[in-house]
Amino acid sequence: MNKVKVGIIFGGTSEEHPVSVKSAQEVARNLDTEKYEPFWIGITQGGAWRLCDGPGEGWETGEHRPVTLSPDRSTPGLHVLADGRREVISLDVVLPVLHGRHGEDGAMQGLLELSGIPYVGCDVPSSALCIDKSLAYTVVASAGVATPVCRVVTDETLDADLDYPVFVKPARSGSSFGVSKVSGPEELASAVEAARKYDSKVLVENAVVGSEVGCAVLGNDLDLIVGEVDQITLSHGFFRIHQEVDPESGSENSTVTVPADLPAATRELVQDTAKAIYRALGCRGLARVDMFLKEDGTVLLNEVNTFPGLTRYSRYPRMMAAAGLSFADVLDRAVSLALTGKVQ
């Protein structure tokens, strides 16, 4: 049987470049090479595309062949440049292991749509919608799911009588980059300035009193698989995933428990809410839905990661593993979804 040719894109120009590389390394450890033939496309932090042997040490600095992904459907696939010649490598499917800007915002998905090559994960509209928290809140609220109170920053916002504490965050970023907890008006301007380093659109969001919970989702439409719910316990501050000095050894202020130490009915409510959010936002393939659980049992949307971290310490694979689905199984089913539209 011929192997499925999988183009695996990783790296990228966003602040989440290092996380993407770690996610790709986990993919390399778990992808079934008896079934799949991987083609590794690394995007350097400067934006150069390189065909390499994988996301191992030195991939970004070594000598690799320049490569592009053709948007021309008459010659789809990878165009590799070497010695003044162009080699075309056809692909059956693409796995875009990219996080944040130009990875989860619809940009890469748009290129893949033009190419006509099937790809794993959310499409252009849902990617663009989910990465913008204020737009996602609007859509999800219209579907009957609770969301935090937030406003887009304007000059009037800075002069407003806000209900502190609030969180100031980039509207279209991830992994807590540029996020600040603000306790009073004297901290607001500097927090907005910090957020604008990552996005020109900034939100001020009322703090939610409750715990953070999450749910891994895999599938399309009504045919969804969910992982076990996880729960984040904080000793101080707020959850700042991927920004620890040594995240592999654990967090400085948080513990993630999976399955969450919650009653079965509450875990089921969180899972059902995650599925409702996933469908309302038009997600497909896979996503991690992050939520808040209040003491009165209300579940609110926090954010949706349309291509969640897949590192050794990431939440998505741990939630799926707790539900009995190995990372190799997740990859296999995600690729199957991209090729057939169904979990097989």
Residue of 309, 315, 333, 335 marked active site: 309
C-alpha span between 193 and 287 (Å, rounded): 30
Residue of 15, 16, 17, 19 marked active site: 19
Whether 167 shows a pLDDT value over 90: the answer reads yes
Residue of 36, 278, 313, 316 marked active site: 313
Quick one: pLDDT at residue 81?
A: 85
Residue of 79, 133, 284, 288 marked active site: 288
Average pLDDT score over residue span 332-340: 95
Name the residue type at position 218: L
Inter-residue contact 26 to 97 (CB < 8 Å) = no
What pTM, to 2 d.p., does this model score? 0.91
Share of the chain above pLDDT 70, in %: 93
The domain 129-147+209-340 is placed in CATH, from the list 3.40.50.12280, 2.40.160.40, 3.50.50.60, 3.30.470.20, at 3.30.470.20
Q: Is 313 a catalytic residue?
A: yes
Whether 243 shows a pLDDT value over 70: the answer reads no
Of the given ranges (26-30, 172-176, 194-198), which has the lowest mean pLDDT? 172-176
Residue whose token pair is 């970023």: 173
Q: Is 288 a catalytic residue?
A: yes
pLDDT tens-digit profile of 184-230? 999 999 999 999 999 999 999 999 999 999 999 999 988 999 999 99
Whether 120 shows a pLDDT value over 70: the answer reads yes
Residue of 34, 248, 295, 324 marked active site: 248
Q: Is 22 a catalytic residue?
A: yes
pLDDT band for position 236 (50/70/90)?
Answer: very low
The domain 4-119 is placed in CATH, from the list 3.40.640.10, 2.60.34.10, 1.10.10.10, 3.40.50.20, at 3.40.50.20
Would you list the domain boundaries of the chain? 4-119, 129-147+209-340, 150-206
Q: Is 270 a catalytic residue?
A: no
Quick one: pLDDT at residue 156?
A: 74
Please indicate whether the domains covering 4-119 and 129-147+209-340 agree at the CATH topology level: no
Q: Is 341 a catalytic residue?
A: no
Residue of 242, 267, 318, 333 marked active site: 242
Average pLDDT score over residue span 171-180: 84
Q: Is 333 a catalytic residue?
A: no
C-alpha span between 203 and 183 (Å, rounded): 15
pLDDT tens-digit profile of 69-86? 999 999 889 999 888 788
Quick one: pLDDT at residue 247?
A: 63
Whether 278 shows a pLDDT value over 70: the answer reads yes
Q: Is 284 a catalytic residue?
A: no
Query: Where does 150-206 sit in CATH, by number?
Result: 3.30.1490.20
Q: Is 228 a catalytic residue?
A: no
Residue of 17, 22, 133, 267 marked active site: 22
* Dihedral sign from CA coordinates of 271, 273, 274, 275: positive
C-alpha span between 110 and 204 (Å, rounded): 30
Of the given ranges (53-67, 82-96, 117-131, 309-323), which has the lowest mean pLDDT? 53-67
